[in-house]
């Protein structure tokens, strides 16, 4: 579990799109479809009124998934 406090911002990784594409590959989604889903999600998460569920939140979730994967918690 994260040690971040409520309202604290998680830094968005420059590799977030690559992380997204890797995660989508697990589900057999790659290439243009993976890119399209990433860009659609990012544009929605950048809409006005987003306070918590924004790009920072996606980056935070992706980091947690990466940490879990490195611990083999998501292994088959």
* Domain contains 53: yes
Residue 73's pLDDT is what?
Answer: 59
* Domain contains 5: no
* Domain contains 11: no
Residue 12's pLDDT is what?
Answer: 54
In the chain, how many domains are there?
Answer: 1
* Domain contains 49: yes
What is the H or E stretch that residue 67 is in? helix 55-70
pLDDT at residue 76 is higher than 80: no
Tokens, residue 3: 């040690």
pLDDT at residue 67 is higher than 60: yes
Identify whether the C-beta of residue 45 lies closer than 8 Å to the C-beta of residue 54: yes
Predicted structure pTM score:
0.65
Range of the domain at 47: 16-70
Mean pLDDT over all residues of the chain?
78
Q: What string of DSSP letters covers 24-62? A: HHTTT--HHHHHHHHHHHHHHHTSTT-SSSSHHHHHHHH
Higher pLDDT among residues 16 and 69, named by residue:
16
d(CA 27, CA 9): 29
* Domain contains 2: no
């Amino acid at each position: 579990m994260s040690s971040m406090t409520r309202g604290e911002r998680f830094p968005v990784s420059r590799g977030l799109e690559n992380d997204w594409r890797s995660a989508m590959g697990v589900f057999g989604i790659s290439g243009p479809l993976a890119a399209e889903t990433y860009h659609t999600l990012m544009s929605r998460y950048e809409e006005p009124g987003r306070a918590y569920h924004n790009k920072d939140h996606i980056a935070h979730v992706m980091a947690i998934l990466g940490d879990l994967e490195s611990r083999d918690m998501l292994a088959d």
